Amino acid sequence: MRELRDFTMARVGLGRAGNSMATRDLLDFQLAHARARDAVHGCFDASALAAEIEAVGLQTMIVASAAHSREEYLRRPDLGRSLDQRSRERLSQSIAGPFDVVFLIADGLSPLAVHTQAAPLLHTANNRLDPGEWRIAPVVIATQGRVALGDEIGEIAKAALSVTLIGERPGLSSFDSMGAYLTWSPKRGRTDAERNCISNIRPEGLSIGAAAELLLLLMREARTWRLSGVALKPKTAGRLTPST
């Protein structure tokens, strides 16, 4: 069991003290649970994230979903999938497409993950994109956002492809994990089957370098075949490893 623990963060081979878990394992579990709860309820500083992204020359725009509080966001997932009226009007007036891709960064269920991984991933991917081949919309940063919010934003921006970087639901061994979701021809009403997902982007999971490489591969394949989701399965994607 000790050898197995060297290869996974999962809780395997836990000892016991009588009818209970060993104190050390119990305290470790309680700490992981607290970190997961803190990740969900953590503060999202959209302005600080925008400044970090603009420092490398990318334009940004901050919007809000129709969920106006964290409590409402957690109770009503549907509200996190739509812009509030004010943001919808500002976006329609400020972003004039067409674009090849629009990047959305949303807090999701782990603002900590977004603050840690989003800017480095976006910078790495942007540096590898040929500006002569890709018309990139201003980066949209959304508070209280869900994955499907990228559909409405992509539709308004007249973007061929939307890429949503979002904090994933925390687990007991991964409270800082971020996901990237790609949707070709985004518009309201798209389903999860029409997206591609890159998951577990974090230091102990998929590295920024490997995630950027896979993201760019999927972006190019989506544009080549003009589709995304279950129908898009690049064979080369399977050769990427977390250490890339």
- For the chain, domains (ranges, CATH) are 44-239 (3.40.50.11240)
Of the pLDDT bands very low, low, confident and very high (cuts 50, 70, 90), residue 242 is: very low
Predicted confidence band of residue 88 (pLDDT cuts 50, 70, 90) = very high
Q: Which two tokens stand for residue 238?
A: 């399977």
Q: In what order do the strands lie in the sheet with 60-64?
A: 60-64, 139-143, 99-106, 159-167, 178-184, 195-201
* Mean pLDDT (the chain, rounded): 90
Confidence band of 235 (pLDDT split at 50, 70, 90): low
Mean pLDDT of 208-213: 95
User: What are the pLDDT digits (tens) for 128-171?
Assistant: 998 889 999 999 999 999 999 999 999 999 999 999 999 999 98
Between β-strands 20-21 and 16-17, what pairing exists: parallel, antiparallel or unpaired? antiparallel
Asked whether the predicted pLDDT for residue 10 surpasses 90, the reply is no
pLDDT at position 44 = 95
12-31 pLDDT per residue, tens: 777 777 888 888 888 888 89
Nearest to 70 by CA among 92, 40, 30, 112: 40
Percent of the chain with pLDDT over 90: 72
Q: Grade residue 241 by pLDDT with cuts at 50, 70 and 90.
A: very low
Give the model confidence (pLDDT) of 65-80 as tens digits: 999 999 999 999 999 9
Which helix or strand (DSSP H or E) is residue 105 part of?
Answer: strand 99-106
